Chain A
Amino acid sequence: MNIELLTLSKVTGIEGEEGNFKVFIKKSPRYVRMDKCIACGACAEKCPSKTPDEYNANLSNRKAIYVPYPQAVPLKYAIDADKCIYFKKGKCKACEKLCPTMAINFDDKEEDIILNVGSVVLTAGFQPFDTSKFDTYQYGKFPNVVTSLEFERILSAGGPAAGHVKRPSDKKVPSKIAWLQCVGSRDLNRCDNEYCSSVCCMYAIKESMIAKEHIGQGFEATIFYMDIRTHGKDFEKYYERAKKEGLRFIRSRVHTIAEADKTGTLKLAYVTDEGEKKEEDFDMVVLSVGMEPADSAVEAARKLDIALDDYKFVKTDSLSPVSTSRPGIYVAGVIQGCKDIPQSVVEASAAACSASISLAPARGSSVKEKVFPTENDVAGQDPRIGVFVCNCGVNIGGIADVPAIAEYARGLPSVAHVQENLFTCSQDTQEKMVELIKEHKLNRIVVAACTPRTHEPLFQETIQNAGLNPYLFEMANIRNQCTWCHSEEKERATDKAKDLVRMAVARVALLEPIPALSVGVNKSTLVLGGGVAGMTSAISLADQGFPVTIVEKSSALGGAAKEVSKTWDGKDVNAFVSGLCAKIENHPDIKVILNSEVVNAAGFVGNFETTIKTVEGTFTVNHGATIIATGGKAAETEEYLYGKNPKVTLWHDIEHDPERLKYANNIVFIQCVGSRDEARPYCSRICCTTSVMQAIFIKEQRPDANVFILYRDMRTYGEKEVLYKRAREKGVVFIRYARDNKPKVTEASDGSLSVEVFDPILQQNLLIKADILNLKTAIEPSINEQIASFYKVPLNEEKFFMEAHAKLRPVDFASDGLYVCGLAHYPKPIDESIEQAMAAAARAATVLSKPSIMVSPLVSQVNAEVCIGCGLCAEVCAFGAIVLEEVGAKGKRAKNIPASCKGCGLCAASCPQKAIDMLHFRHSQLEASICAVA
């Protein structure tokens, strides 16, 4: 309700400054009235003009009047004027004639809109690299060469091939597909995209794994790559699994694609690691195209007058990663730099946090709240059921006999009124429904129409406007489940619709009004950990006026960042960390408790109670939100003579000993020490970039020194790729080693160190005398088990905290009011920790900004008389919403915490005593529904 969608709109200009901008928008005509269109699709069915469907990567056609895809929001048709026959030739208007709601408006005009806003966030995204620029790959010439986005649509059940993978030339099911990586990424020879697109390795593995599932036995997938960059959380395990399942990974750039025969089979020519020339036939080739800033996004950035970098991404600084060159305008997503979905979502929340800080004094000043009439008390009333049967234009009415269904409904028990509608969801019908509910004193409503997934909220609002509790409502989906899937059997579709209506009426008669559930919110936050992530989230909240307490186990703030001197883009980390510490010490809304630890926690969103132990004793803190930022550190190792020979160093030791660096001639870095192995099957994400930076630093100070980096895959993702290139230009030697053939480090009797490593390019062993050996050991999380058990949040196998959803909820836990950021979540560089910390603050603010929060009242209910206290419910609950309470001599009994309950029903399903019932889905209500059809 507080998000206004302006579709078909572009920014044309901006005036003003932070806190008070005037933005000029041009809104193109839709030619369809949003308030009338009910997305029945009659217009598109008869529209004679076909055009390539952008949504399906142009692999299929759409009409000139269209919705981009079936789940589109808003689900309203639009006319593409460039393709419409009426606009080109002056006649047709087939859509206007067929539209049952008179929604077509050929007189629609372009509109100029002026918005007055306090901040702007640019999230306008990317476009895939245009592969037709490359002649080598023959895209556009050979039909079986497709882009990864096209292949994504080919795989999709909703795509042009309905999920049956077939190659374009002859519709044969391909048995051999090659993916070519870095098309339009890491390439200055044939395009200007020097950077790594960060996502292609992972999506190529995903596409090949899913293709394997679709095609089945005998399918062979091959990925041609330079470095496999699976640096995200759990990505490396997926890569290992892919290898185990037989996906072939060949480290080579394919230099030529030719057609092998007339069927369209392709011949790929490449050179192996061993220098051998090879030719191999494939049924299809998928080009893993990189990402570029979208032209439209670049245009928007220019209109907003914000600075861009050399590649046209919006210019930011790694210590303020979502701020643009213009105060009050923030940026997130791929237009800030190449990144995957989780990182985009994190950045989205971080940008929301920045905007909230600058507009905090105006919070709540522009939002609206919906007001409903007072609810009628239906307690004690006999059910008077209203049934509304929808024709959905011809969608239902064209197949099923709607008058017969309505007549049938009239005969069902407790039904007081039945109404047929052409479109039950149209705006005027809502008003009519309110009148009918009042006129016939209806107290339970059934709508027999489409799916509750899209329409239940609308009808619930309608009955609320008529004074009914929103839960006195039930839908029968007689479109999707009857007329759509039984369109050839009209009578049976009608019969089934009657059954569904009978079931709905039986259930609705037993439904009870359920009052809204709200819980009060304590406005303060507890942050666990005083590193960069913890401090950033604390400041981000306190700057909005929310008080924060930081619990830090050591004697000082700063965390792992104290070791780091510079960010990847050269910013001074020491100064930044000191700045954060100083700000925190002087902030009136932040309290720091050093040398302390959490020893117990209880409560739920808005109302946590945490016990903290310090040297002075234990005490309790009450808080509404909890941010876990317990950090991590470089692991210890016993490999490569670490701890035995003083020349062997870890991580930043090398920066802390400039004297030694001055006289060292040979400096060797070994990557992946304890990462990407059995014990820690994950990539530590930051080690490649750190070594490359250190190598560049050494070469700048001492151009004559020999610097070697021994690595497995160089993972300088995103624009960090530029550093890798600079290091090579400066003469840093990169030698790739395999996991099963690690470098060997030996010590001579005089204490000198030798590193022996197999060089795959020279195809022989190299022996390097090392004056300094630096090991990049794995980044591991702090010990988190206790904290995880106190707050009932999960850890993954590697003991990092596990977020609610890897892609869409990257800082939340499944339980509300708890958030994670920084190294406690996964290894990451400082800029990403800052973003995640700000994101955690933004997510916490969604709770803290309200005096009380509404939670879904559809929760579990325990009957303590029947409960035997076995605890199975508490064990299966993923949200910590059921606790066992001592009830005197009887022992323990289950008790639900409604604020934490998500209404999943797992507890009710698992209870051997049937002592748990779900509100709105009581056993009796479901039984009534089932018995009505049994």
Chain B
Amino acid sequence: MVQDKPKGSVMVVGGGITGMQTSLDLADSGFYVYLVEQSPAIGGSMAQLDKTFPTNDCSM
């Protein structure tokens, strides 16, 4: 636990599926999130996949 009152914001580095999920969970539970991504758009490697097991959903 933090001694003084901590900041209510979090930085997430990386905007792939993992970073997006972390950001959503934090923002949905009362924290302000800075999502830092090096490319022009979030999405990461998963956006490149054609279909995913088991539903054959397009990864978008």
| A359-B50 in contact given A4-B34, A78-B40, A333-B18 (Cβ < 8 Å) | no
A18 and B32 contact, CB distance less than 8 A: no
A348 and B2 contact, CB distance less than 8 A: no
| A9-B8 in contact given A3-B23, A123-B22, A206-B51 (Cβ < 8 Å) | no
B6 and A5 contact, CB distance less than 8 A: no
A349 partner residues in chain B, CB cutoff 8 A: 21-22, 25
Contact with A along B9-48 (1 / 0, CB 8 A): 1111111111111111111111111111111111111111
| A121-B6 in contact given A76-B40, A352-B22 (Cβ < 8 Å) | no
A297 partner residues in chain B, CB cutoff 8 A: 14
B15 partner residues in chain A, CB cutoff 8 A: 5, 7
B51 partner residues in chain A, CB cutoff 8 A: 155, 206, 210
Interchain nearest-CB distance for B59 vs A (Å):
9
Interchain nearest-CB distance for B40 vs A (Å):
4
B36 and A6 contact, CB distance less than 8 A: yes
B6 and A356 contact, CB distance less than 8 A: no
B13 and A20 contact, CB distance less than 8 A: no
Bound Cα distance from A723 to B48, whole angstroms: 33
B23 partner residues in chain A, CB cutoff 8 A: 3
Q: Which of A67-75, A103-111, A464-472, A479-487 contacts B (4 or more CB under 8 A)?
A: A67-75
B50 and A846 contact, CB distance less than 8 A: no
| A71-B35 in contact given A124-B13, A206-B51 (Cβ < 8 Å) | no
Q: Which of A362-370, A589-597, A667-675, A726-734 contacts B (4 or more CB under 8 A)?
A: A362-370
A352 and B48 contact, CB distance less than 8 A: no
| A359-B14 in contact given A19-B2, A123-B19, A333-B19 (Cβ < 8 Å) | no
| A7-B37 in contact given A355-B31, A367-B30 (Cβ < 8 Å) | yes
B4 and A20 contact, CB distance less than 8 A: yes
* Among A7, A210, A366, contact of B41 (Cβ-Cβ < 8 Å): A7
Bound Cα distance from A21 to B58, whole angstroms: 38
A806 partner residues in chain B, CB cutoff 8 A: 53-55
B34 partner residues in chain A, CB cutoff 8 A: 4, 6, 115, 117
B45 and A358 contact, CB distance less than 8 A: no
A7 partner residues in chain B, CB cutoff 8 A: 15, 37, 39-42
B30 and A121 contact, CB distance less than 8 A: no
* Among A202, A335, A842, contact of B53 (Cβ-Cβ < 8 Å): A202
Closest to A301 in B: B13
Closest to B46 in A: A341
B5 partner residues in chain A, CB cutoff 8 A: 19, 361-362
B22 and A362 contact, CB distance less than 8 A: no
Counting CB contacts under 8 A, is A190 at the interface? Answer: no
Counting CB contacts under 8 A, is A11 at the interface? Answer: yes
Enumerate A772-826 residues with CB–CB distance to B below 8 Å: 805-808
B17 and A345 contact, CB distance less than 8 A: yes
| A367-B40 in contact given A210-B50, A846-B28 (Cβ < 8 Å) | no
Interchain nearest-CB distance for A59 vs B (Å):
11
| A348-B40 in contact given A2-B33, A358-B2, A367-B31 (Cβ < 8 Å) | no
A143 partner residues in chain B, CB cutoff 8 A: none
Enumerate A338-397 residues with CB–CB distance to B below 8 Å: 341, 344-345, 347-349, 351-353, 355-359, 361-368
B37 and A6 contact, CB distance less than 8 A: yes
A55 partner residues in chain B, CB cutoff 8 A: 47-48
Enumerate A1-60 residues with CB–CB distance to B below 8 Å: 1-11, 18-21, 23, 25, 30, 55, 57
A210 partner residues in chain B, CB cutoff 8 A: 50-51, 56
B43 partner residues in chain A, CB cutoff 8 A: 68-69, 71-73
A11 and B13 contact, CB distance less than 8 A: yes
Closest to A20 in B: B7
Bound Cα distance from A1 to B55, whole angstroms: 30
Bound Cα distance from A931 to B22, whole angstroms: 46
A66 partner residues in chain B, CB cutoff 8 A: 40
Bound Cα distance from A445 to B54, whole angstroms: 40
B2 partner residues in chain A, CB cutoff 8 A: 18-20, 118, 328, 358-359, 361
Bound Cα distance from A120 to B5, whole angstroms: 16
A335 partner residues in chain B, CB cutoff 8 A: 14
Counting CB contacts under 8 A, is A116 at the interface? Answer: yes
Closest to A330 in B: B22
* Among A362, A368, A848, contact of B6 (Cβ-Cβ < 8 Å): A362
Bound Cα distance from A849 to B26, whole angstroms: 11
Interchain nearest-CB distance for A182 vs B (Å):
19
Bound Cα distance from A849 to B55, whole angstroms: 32
Bound Cα distance from A808 to B48, whole angstroms: 16
B50 and A156 contact, CB distance less than 8 A: yes
* Among A118, A364, A846, contact of B10 (Cβ-Cβ < 8 Å): A118
Most chain A CB inside 10 Å of its own CB: which residue of B32, B51, B57: B32
A124 partner residues in chain B, CB cutoff 8 A: 13-14, 16, 19
B18 and A9 contact, CB distance less than 8 A: no
B11 partner residues in chain A, CB cutoff 8 A: 11, 21, 23, 115, 117, 119-121
Counting CB contacts under 8 A, is A125 at the interface? Answer: yes
B56 partner residues in chain A, CB cutoff 8 A: 210
A846 and B29 contact, CB distance less than 8 A: yes
| A3-B40 in contact given A117-B34, A119-B10 (Cβ < 8 Å) | no
Contact with B along A551-568 (1 / 0, CB 8 A): 000000000000000000
Closest to B60 in A: A71
| A6-B35 in contact given A72-B40, A118-B8 (Cβ < 8 Å) | yes
A300 and B50 contact, CB distance less than 8 A: no
B13 and A118 contact, CB distance less than 8 A: no
A116 partner residues in chain B, CB cutoff 8 A: 7, 9
Closest to A30 in B: B40
B31 and A363 contact, CB distance less than 8 A: yes
A1 partner residues in chain B, CB cutoff 8 A: 27
Counting CB contacts under 8 A, is A234 at the interface? Answer: yes
A155 and B50 contact, CB distance less than 8 A: yes
Most chain A CB inside 10 Å of its own CB: which residue of B23, B42, B48: B48
| A159-B19 in contact given A18-B2, A68-B39, A69-B43 (Cβ < 8 Å) | no
B52 partner residues in chain A, CB cutoff 8 A: 206, 341, 807
Bound Cα distance from A10 to B38, whole angstroms: 6
B37 and A121 contact, CB distance less than 8 A: no
A75 partner residues in chain B, CB cutoff 8 A: 41
B29 partner residues in chain A, CB cutoff 8 A: 352, 356, 363, 842, 845-846, 848-849
A122 and B9 contact, CB distance less than 8 A: no
Bound Cα distance from A849 to B25, whole angstroms: 11
B26 and A352 contact, CB distance less than 8 A: yes
A333 and B16 contact, CB distance less than 8 A: yes
Contact with B along A88-105 (1 / 0, CB 8 A): 000000000000000000
Bound Cα distance from A6 to B26, whole angstroms: 16
B31 and A121 contact, CB distance less than 8 A: no
B16 and A123 contact, CB distance less than 8 A: yes
Bound Cα distance from A76 to B39, whole angstroms: 12
Bound Cα distance from A933 to B13, whole angstroms: 50
| A2-B37 in contact given A20-B7, A71-B60, A238-B54 (Cβ < 8 Å) | no
Closest to B18 in A: A333
* Among A9, A149, A347, contact of B36 (Cβ-Cβ < 8 Å): A9
A235 partner residues in chain B, CB cutoff 8 A: 53
A3 and B35 contact, CB distance less than 8 A: yes
A849 partner residues in chain B, CB cutoff 8 A: 28-30
| 25 A-B pairs whose Cβ atoms sit less than 8 Å apart in the complex | A7-B39, A8-B37, A67-B40, A71-B47, A71-B60, A123-B22, A153-B50, A297-B14, A341-B52, A345-B17, A348-B19, A349-B25, A355-B26, A356-B26, A359-B2, A363-B30, A364-B8, A366-B9, A367-B31, A806-B53, A806-B54, A806-B55, A807-B53, A846-B25, A850-B30
Beyond A20-B4, A68-B41, A122-B14, 12 additional contacts (C-beta under 8 Å) are A6-B35, A7-B42, A11-B13, A18-B2, A117-B34, A300-B14, A333-B19, A344-B21, A353-B25, A358-B1, A808-B17, A849-B28
Please report B residues at the A interface, Cβ cutoff 8 Å: 1-58, 60
- A-B CB proximity, top 10 nearest: A19-B6, A333-B18, A19-B2, A124-B14, A348-B21, A365-B8, A72-B41, A362-B8, A366-B8, A352-B25
